[in-house]
C-alpha cells in the first residue's frame, strides 16, 4: 500500500545529516514534523488531504525514521532542537522555499519551537502539537511525572546505558508498551503504518533518539534559558490531547505558550498524545483555518 499516495520519497543532504522525507501537492509550503518514537508517516491521515491545498513536506527528524544518525558529539549539541531545526530549514531551502509554514508534534513540536526562535524570518506560522516548552516540562517533573514520563530521565542517561536496554527488547513489544502509555488504544494506527514504526525502531534510531533526549536535558535547556526574554512574533497554533500528559498535567497550555509567543490560539482535542492520528478531522479543520 502507498502510505502517502501521490507523494515523492526523497533523501536530502543537510550540513549535518541526511534527511528522509515525502513531499507532494501544490500550494504554499507546509513542513510536517513527527514525534518520538515515530516517523514522518505519523502524518499519513493528514498529509494527502493537506496536499490539496499545500505543498506538503513530511520529514524524518535527524536520528529518526530513515534519516541518518551522525555520531553524537560529547555535549549532544548535534542532537539539539537547534540542530534538528537547522536540518529542516536546509531541507526546505533545497526544495526552493525560503519561507514556509510548519507543524510539529511532540519532538517535532520542540524542533518547531526552536526553529521559530532561530529562524523567525523563515517561519510564517507554526502549529505546535501536544507539548509545553521543554523548560516547563522539566520544571513539572514531580514524582507522578517522572513515573509516567519515565523515558525523559531514562533516555537522558549517559551514552550507551539506555541504548543497551532498548536494543535488548523486541521492537514490536516496546512500541506497544510505549504508545499505550500515552493513548487508550492503538486502533488509530493501520497495520502498514505500525509496521513502519516497528521497522524503524532499530539500533540507529535508538542511538539517535537517546541523543535527542540527552540534548533536551542539557544544551536545549541552556539555549531555551538564554531565550526566555524573547517572544515569538509569528502566529502560533497550540493543540493538545485532553487525555494526554499535557492535558492532564497542565491546567492552561495556552497561557503557558502566551508567555513565549505574542499571538497564540488553540484548544484541547478529545484524544491522547497522538493527536494527528487520533483526531485527524479536527486537526485538518484547524490547519485549513490557521494556515489557509
Active site residues: 106, 273
| Helices and strands: H and E segment counts in the chain | 15, 8
DSSP run (H or E) holding 138: helix 134-139
- Dihedral over Cα of 242, 247, 248, 252: its sign: negative
Task: Confirm if 120 and 182 have CB atoms less than 8 A apart.
Answer: no
State the DSSP string of 70-109: PPPPTT-GGGSHHHHHHHHHHHHHHTT-SSEEEEEETHHH
Q: Say how far apart CA 274 and CA 66 lie, in whole Å.
A: 20
C-alpha dihedral, 43 to 114 to 27 to 290, nearest 10°: 80
| Exposure b/e, 65-79, CB count within 10 A at least 16 = b | bbbbbbebeeebbbb
DSSP run (H or E) holding 174: helix 171-180
Tell me the β-bridge partners of 19: 12
| Strands, sheet with 55-59, edge to edge from the N-terminal-most edge strand | 8-13, 18-24, 55-59, 29-33, 100-105, 123-129, 236-241, 264-269
Amino acid at each position: 500500500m502507498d502510505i502517502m499516495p501521490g507523494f515523492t520519497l526523497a533523501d536530502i543532504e543537510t550540513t549535518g545529516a541526511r534527511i528522509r522525507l515525502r513531499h507532494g501537492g501544490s500550494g504554499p509550503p507546509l513542513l510536517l514534523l513527527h514525534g518520538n518514537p515515530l516517523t514522518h508517516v505519523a502524518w499519513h491521515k493528514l498529509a494527502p488531504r493537506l496536499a490539496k491545498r499545500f505543498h506538503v513536506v513530511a520529514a524524518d527528524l535527524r536520528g529518526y525514521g530513515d534519516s541518518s544518525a551522525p555520531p553524537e558529539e560529547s555535549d549532544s549539541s548535534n542532537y539539539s532542537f537547534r540542530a534538528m531545526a537547522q536540518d529542516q530549514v536546509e531541507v526546505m531551502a533545497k526544495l526552493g522555499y525560503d519561507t514556509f509554514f510548519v507543524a510539529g508534534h511532540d519532538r517535532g513540536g520542540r524542533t518547531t519551537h526552536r526553529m521559530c526562535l532561530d529562524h523567525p524570518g523563515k517561519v510564517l506560522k507554526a502549529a505546535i502539537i501536544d507539548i509545553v516548552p521543554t523548560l516547563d516540562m522539566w520544571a513539572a517533573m514531580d514524582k507522578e511525572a517522572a513515573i509516567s514520563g519515565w523515558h525523559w530521565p531514562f533516555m537522558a542517561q549517559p551514552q550507551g546505558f539506555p541504548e543497551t536496554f532498548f536494543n535488548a527488547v523486541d521492537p514490536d513489544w516496546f512500541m506497544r508498551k510505549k504508545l499505550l502509555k500515552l493513548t487508550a488504544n492503538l486502533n488509530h494506527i493501520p497495520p502498514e503504518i505500525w509496521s513502519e514504526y516497528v521497522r524503524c525502531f532499530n539500533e540507529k534510531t535508538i542511538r539517535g533518539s537517546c541523543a535527542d533526549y540527552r540534548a533536551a536535558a542539557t544544551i536545549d535547556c541552556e539555549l531555551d534559558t538564554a531565550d526566555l526574554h524573547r517572544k515569538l512574533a509569528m502566529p502560533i497554533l497550540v493543540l493538545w490531547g485532553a487525555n494526554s500528559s499535557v492535558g492532564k498535567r497542565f491546567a492552561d497550555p495556552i497561557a503557558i505558550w502566551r508567555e513565549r509567543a505574542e499571538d497564540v490560539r488553540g484548544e484541547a482535542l478529545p484524544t491522547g498524545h497522538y493527536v494527528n492520528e487520533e483526531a485527524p478531522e479536527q486537526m485538518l479543520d484547524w490547519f485549513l483555518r490557521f494556515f489557509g
